[in-house]
A and B are shown apart, each in its own frame.
Chain A
Amino acid sequence: MSTAMLVPLATGNALTIGLFLAVVAVTLYITFWASRQSKTAADYYAGGRSFSGFQNGLAVSGDYMSAASFLGISGAIALYGYDGFLYSIGFLVAWLVALLLIAELLRNSGRFTMADQLAYRMRQTPVRTAAATSTIVVSIFYLLAQMVGAGSLVGLLLGVTSPALKNLVIVGVGVLMIIYVTFGGMKGTTWVQIVKAVMLMTGTVLITFLVLVKFGFNLSNLLGSAAEKSGKGEAFLQPGLLYGKDLVGKFDFLSLALALVLGTAGLPHILIRFYTTPTSQAARKSVLWAIGLIGGFYLMTLVLGFGAAALVDTAKGSQIQTSAGNAASPLLAQAVGGGEGTLGGSVLLALISAVAFATILAVVAGLTLTSASSVAHDLYANVFKKGQASERSELRVARIAAFGIGAIAILLAIPAQRLNIAFLVALAFAVAASANLPALLYNLFWKRFNTMGATFSIYGGLIMAVLLVTFSPVVSGTPMSLFPSANFDWFPLRNPGLISIPFGFLCGIVGTLISKETHSAERYDELSVRALTGAGAEKAVTH
């Protein structure tokens, strides 16, 4: 049994490679189709604001459900049982912040980037510089996670172990994402997300159904078999296998939970998706669809995770263990399809692998576009050119920036392969919650808030989050750290959120109160009218 599992997943390799190439072909076709349709800045940055609530809901889900959720969460459940499920709960509940406080107001009061909404009533240069900095930092952390994931995942799925080939995969993914973003812009990227979301939901529903059939649609039976097979018994279904083993661990979990629930509504690549809809009502609808789709998806990962624990070997030395759980979903697909060596098993394995690959491509495209937009629209057009740049030159800079960011991501991802993917994603969430969310919320709900408050909260939250991680056990002090032999781990928590999020909010208050600027407060009523009614908001492009 265990020797069979140790054999690389090479069976059905030709089929897997064929499906991968099909995914690449379809996405490239979409990209070139979209590039012929994109003419104006609103087309490039916001897909012409012409996507319906349902379409954008699918695209938001496609942007949000990264390989870290698809492979990571089901893998964590397969290895740690109930505790693996906790990630998904934070990831879902977080959408209420976006729905209730951010999505519609942002759609009405901004244009292309996160910074637009702050720049309405603040002094543009400092605020846009700050917001662009945190946009790029958050996106790069997130991007690295996806690309490192792509390298190890494709390596795993195709049975490739050589580091040179893994690097080649990373370079390949990087080149693809540069093409998507440079040519397709937001329109192409959005359609790539939509296709990916449909593929991901279909694949997940199929495997979930097949797992449930095996257990007679009885959740309790599934949990029982998983607990028994895991060798951990009852404990597998209870809190505590992964988080909160001691007091530091308990606070670490609290910190993670806070970062997850507050991070989503501060992720720049999610925020700019709301600009692709024609009205704030459509933006609201897209969040409602996203909540339904993402919620349904995470409920299914519960079945996938426990299903993998019950049906696939998860013992020490098994492929699920050595891949830190990432192989759980693909191996489960193989098992419910009939097992290794069977036609059904190979087909399902290839299918789920292709879904995972499409997932990575779509998410990296979204992130690259976000950073490129911020460089071109915030830094070039407004900070550097003071709003006097022509649309053509701005779009040219956006394309160059997409190329540059793609190149940087490739160069960083190759050495970053030592880093843990989940850590990079959690760090992106922590920075988003500490740096971006306070500024966005204060801007919408606090009249007195001003330029200095905005820059203080963005830089304060950003610097605190990054510093705390640098001095945490993630970077040094333990055998699992980035620098295992060094010891500068004086901050005990692995996730900085518990300290850095309140710190970001506090910096916003301090900065606001020490500044004498009153201009921004005078514009608060205008911003409120725009945000709540959509009066004067950007309209959809009609060609």
Chain B
Amino acid sequence: MPDRSTPTYEAGEADRLPAHDHELYNTIAQDRDFVELRRRYRSFAIPATIGFMAWYLLYVICNNWARDFMDTKVIGNINIALVWGLLQFVSTFTIAYFYARHAKKSLDPLSSKLRDEFDRESGR
């Protein structure tokens, strides 16, 4: 059980953890595997976020300011506006699928290795 006595100043949740945990966290933070894990996570999540936000906002903007283009018929009664709307669904499913694959293949092995290391060292 971690020491739960109130420190003299108004502290964060982290200050209630035993000192040994802090050392462990800071050691892991310097670990090459952790640096690599963070790089792999960010190199997917950040570009993907910028990508889908831009793709979505472009669609919103075209709904406002490119009406003639959006009204163009593609097949039967189906126009570009509807197709693009449905493509937003497709892109959402696709990004989710690729993120899940990336996480499973490239993130999970590293994160579980580091977590095990922490559990072993902290005696949990």
In the bound complex, residues from chain B placing their C-beta under 8 Å from that of A387 are 4, 6, 16
Which of B44, B75, B96 is the most central at the interface, judged by chain A CB atoms within 10 Å of its CB? B96
User: What band does the interface of chain B fall in when counting residues whose beta carbon is under 8 Å from A?
Assistant: 35 or more
Question: What distance in Å separates the Cβ of B97 from its nearest Cβ neighbour in chain A?
Answer: 8
Q: Using an 8 Å CB-CB cutoff, how does the interface string of A64-89 with B read, 1 for contact, 0 for none?
A: 00000000000000000010011001
Pairwise interchain contact A100-B26, C-beta atoms closer than 8 A: no
Complex CA–CA separation, A247 to B114 (angstroms): 53
- Is B49 touching A528 in the complex (CB atoms < 8 A)? no
Could you show 22 A-B contacts with beta carbons less than 8 Å apart?
Answer: A89-B85, A95-B92, A121-B12, A124-B11, A224-B76, A234-B71, A238-B71, A239-B67, A250-B65, A284-B100, A291-B96, A299-B89, A523-B14, A526-B22, A527-B14, A532-B37, A533-B111, A533-B112, A533-B114, A535-B118, A536-B118, A536-B124
Q: How far is the CA of A33 from the CA of B39 in the complex (A)?
A: 45
- Asked if A119 lies at the interface with its beta carbon under 8 angstroms from chain B, I say yes
* Minimum Cβ distance to chain B for residue A376 (Å): 16
Contact B89 A298 (CB under 8 A): yes
A-B contacts besides A387-B4, A387-B6, A520-B12, 14 pairs, CB < 8 Å: A89-B59, A89-B85, A96-B49, A100-B95, A104-B103, A238-B81, A261-B53, A281-B103, A292-B93, A295-B92, A299-B86, A526-B14, A526-B26, A533-B110
- Taking a contact as CB atoms closer than 8 A, the residue among B11, B64, B92, B103 that contacts A284 in the complex is B103
Distance (whole angstroms) from the CB of B16 to the closest CB of chain A: 7
Would you call A116 an interface residue if the criterion is a C-beta within 8 Å of the partner chain's C-beta atoms? yes
Contact between chains at B63 and A86 (CB < 8 Å): yes
- Give Cα distance in the complex from A221 to B78, angstroms: 10
Most buried by B among A219, A221, A529: A529
CA of A244 to CA of B26, assembled, Å: 52
Of chain B, the residue at the smallest CB distance from A284 is B103
A223 touches B77 (CB 8 A): yes
Interface string of B60-89 (1 = CB under 8 A from A): 110111010011000111110110011011
Contact of A119 among B13, B41, B61 (CB under 8 A): B13
- Taking a contact as CB atoms under 8 Å apart, the answer to whether A121 and B4 are in contact is no
| Min CB gap A327→B, angstroms | 24
For A117, give the chain B residue with the smallest CB separation: B13
Please indicate the chain B residues that have their CB under 8 angstroms from the CB of A238 in the complex: 67, 70-71, 79, 81
Interface set, chain B 13-56, CB cutoff 8 A to A = 13-14, 16-17, 21-22, 24-26, 28-29, 34, 37-38, 41, 44-45, 48-49, 52-53, 56
- Select A253's contact among B13, B21, B60, B82, beta carbons within 8 Å: B60
Residues of A with C-beta under 8 A to B99: 99-100
Identify which of A95, A104, A122, A240 contacts B12 (C-beta below 8 A): A122
Kindly report which residue of chain B lies nearest to residue A120, judged by CB atoms: B13
A116 to B24, CA, bound (A): 21
Q: What is the CA–CA distance of A234 and B76 in the complex, to the nearest angstrom?
A: 12
Instruction: Determine if A220 is an interface residue (Cβ-Cβ < 8 Å).
Output: yes
B115–chain A nearest beta-carbon distance, Å: 5
Whole-angstrom distance between the Cβ of A341 and the nearest chain B Cβ: 32
Q: Is B122 a contact partner of A243 (Cβ separation < 8 A)?
A: no
A-B CB proximity, top 4 nearest: A220-B76, A535-B118, A525-B29, A526-B25
Query: What residues of chain A have their CB less than 8 Å away from a CB belonging to chain B?
Result: 82, 85-86, 89-90, 92-93, 95-97, 99-101, 104, 116, 119-125, 219-221, 223-224, 227, 234, 237-240, 243-244, 250, 253-254, 257, 261, 280-281, 284, 287-288, 291-292, 295, 298-299, 386-388, 519-520, 523, 525-530, 532-536
- The CA of A475 and the CA of B63, in the complex, are separated in Å by 27
Beyond A101-B49, A121-B14, whether A220 also contacts B78 by CB under 8 A is: yes
The residue from A234, A237, A284, A525 contacting B82, defined by CB atoms under 8 A apart: A237
In the complex, chain B residues whose CB is within 8 Å of the CB of A96: 48-49, 52, 92, 95-96
Q: Determine the distance from Cα of A221 to Cα of B75 in the docked complex, in whole angstroms.
A: 11
Instruction: Report if A536-B21 is in contact (Cβ < 8 Å); known contacts: A124-B10, A244-B64, A523-B12.
Output: yes
* Set of chain A residues within 8 Å of B61, measured between Cβ atoms: 254
Q: Are A291 and B92 CB-contacts (below 8 A) given A122-B12, A239-B70, A253-B64?
A: yes
- Are B41 and A532 neighbours in the complex by a CB distance under 8 Å? yes
When the two chains form their complex, are residues A219 and B78 in contact, meaning their CB atoms are under 8 A apart?
yes
Q: Which residues of A contact B78 (CB under 8 A)?
A: 219-220, 223
For B92, the chain A residues whose CB sits under 8 A away are 92-93, 95-96, 291, 295
Task: Enumerate chain A residues within 8 angstroms of B12, measured Cβ to Cβ.
Answer: 119-124, 519-520, 523
| Chain B, residue nearest A238 (CB) | B71
Min CB gap B80→A, angstroms: 10
Contact A535 B119 (CB under 8 A): yes
| A101 lies within 8 A of B45 (CB) | yes
Residues of B within 8 A of A93 (CB): 52, 56, 88, 92
- Give chain A nearest CB distance to B101 CB in angstroms: 11
C-alpha gap A35/B24 in the complex (Å): 38
Closest to B57 in A: A257
CB–CB A534/B111 < 8 A: yes
- Give Cα A96 to B92, complex, Å: 7
A534 and B115 form a contact (CB under 8 A): yes
Residues A535 and B81 in contact, CB atoms below 8 Å apart: no
The minimal Cβ–Cβ distance linking B88 to chain A, given in whole angstroms, is: 5
A534 to B114, CA, bound (A): 9
